[in-house]
Structure 1
C-alpha cells in the first residue's frame, strides 16, 4: 500500500476507536496520504490514545513504510522495539500492475465509515530532545479480489480485534484473522482519476469513480 485516505469525521473516529482528542487538526481530511505524512494512529500506553505520527519508520538506510505479516509472525523485526498500533483509514489505493501505464483503484469497505489498519509504531527523539512517533503498515498477500491489482494489501482488522491488537497480541491476531484465502466480501473496488498519482493533489475528486475507458480496466 503506497497511499491511503482518511476523510471520516472526528466524532466517528473517536467512537469507533474508543478515544478522545482535543485536537481538531488531527482529523483534517486527507484524500492522498503518502509516506512522510503525519496522520493519526491509535495505541495503548498507559491508556488508549490517538496521536499524530509520521508514516515511515526510520532505519539506517531508508524509511520503512510497511512490514509483511510474515515478518511480524516470525519475529524478524523484534529488535526494532516496535509496538502495535491501529491506523484509521477510510480506504486505500492500489495500482493495476498488468498494464504499461499503471492506473489507480480505490478500495473501501461497504458499511464501515472508517477502517482499522494494523500497524507498528515507535517513539523517536531528536538531538534537541523533541519526541515524535513514526508508524508503518502491516501487509499480507492480496485476496483474490485484489490480486489483479497488486500482490499485497493492508491487514484490515475486525473491530473486535482492536483491543487485543494494541495490547500486544499482534501475532495471535495475525495468525487467527488473516488467512491467505481470506476474502472480504464487503470491499468495494473502483477505478479513480490518475490525479492521485501526484501526491500534491488532495481533494475529494480523487476518490470519485470514473467510467471504464478500455477493455483491460
Structure 2
C-alpha cells in the first residue's frame, strides 16, 4: 500500500537527478502530504529523452466515463498487474517513476486509533517508486494519470504494513523506463531490508489537509 508520501526536492534538482527535461506544469514543492488525486512529479522516457512532468495520482482506465467512474486506483499490485484489465497494457508500454522523499503507513493501537509512521531512505536523497501511467479523455477533459506499483513488504517494513511501494535503485531506472529492452517484471520486488529507516510521527498527517515540515518530525513522548 502507498496512500500518502512526501516530496521535498526542488523540481530543478529532480530534473538533474533523473537526467530529464522538466515540464512547465510541475507541482509545487515541498509537499509533505501528497494525497491521492493530487498532481505528482513523474519521470517517463519518450523518444529517447526522459521527461519530468505532472500526472494525476489515481489511474483512470480508458473505459471510465468520468474520473470518479469507478474505484480510485492509486496502487497496482505487482503480483497481478500483468493480468488486470486496467493495468496490463500500461505495465508493458507505459511505465514511469514517481520521485518521493518518504512515505507514510499506519498501524493501530488497542483502541483502533490510526498511528502514522514516516518511512524514508537511509542513504539516498530520493526514492523512485515504480509506477504506470494512462491518458484519459472524455467530453473535452484530458488527464494523464498514474498508479504506484506495490509489492509484499520486506521484513523491516512488514511490522508496520504488509505492502509497500516498489522502490527502484538508480541502476534499474533505465530498464523500468523501457530504455533497456524487456525484463522489467523482475524489478517488482521489495528493496533490501537496510534500505529504509522509519519513525512514528504525529497524527496530524491523518488529515489530508495537513501541511508543513512538522508532519515528518519524529514523535516525542
Pick the TM interval, shorter chain: 0.7 to 0.9
Helix, strand or coil for the counterpart of 2:194?
coil
Give, in angstroms, the shift of residue 26 of structure 1: 3.0
Give, in angstroms, the shift of residue 40 of structure 1: 1.1
Q: Which residue of 1 aligns with 2:67?
A: none
How far, CA to CA, are the matches of 1:33 and 1:120 in structure 2? Answer: 18
Alignment of structure 1 residues 19-168 onto 2, 5 Å: 19-21=20-22, 23=24, 25-46=26-47, 47-59=49-61, 60=64, 61-72=70-81, 74-77=82-85, 81-82=89-90, 83-97=94-108, 99=110, 100-128=112-140, 130-167=141-178
Give, in angstroms, the shift of residue 173 of structure 1: 3.2
Q: Which residue of 2 aligns with 1:14?
A: 15
Q: Is the 8 A contact 1:145 1:183 kept in 2?
A: no
TM-score, scaled relative to structure 1: 0.86
Post-superposition Cα deviations, 1:140-159, rounded to whole Å, max 9, x if no partner, equal: 00111111211100000011
The count of aligned residue pairs is 208
The verdict on how the C-alpha distance between 1:133 and 1:56 changes in structure 2, with shifts beyond 3 A counting, is: same
Helix, strand or coil for the counterpart of 1:86?
strand
Helix, strand or coil for the counterpart of 2:205?
helix
Gaps of 5+ in 1: none
How far, CA to CA, are the matches of 1:94 and 1:137 in structure 2? Answer: 15
TM-score, scaled relative to structure 2: 0.85
Helix, strand or coil for the counterpart of 1:64?
coil
Give, in angstroms, the shift of residue 176 of structure 1: 4.8
The verdict on how the C-alpha distance between 1:30 and 1:171 changes in structure 2, with shifts beyond 3 A counting, is: farther
Gaps of 5+ in 2: 65-69
Matched, 1:186 2:195: yes
Helix, strand or coil for the counterpart of 2:124?
coil
Which is worse superposed, 18-27 or 5-14? 18-27
Q: Which residue of 1 aligns with 2:216?
A: 207
The verdict on how the C-alpha distance between 1:64 and 1:201 changes in structure 2, with shifts beyond 3 A counting, is: same
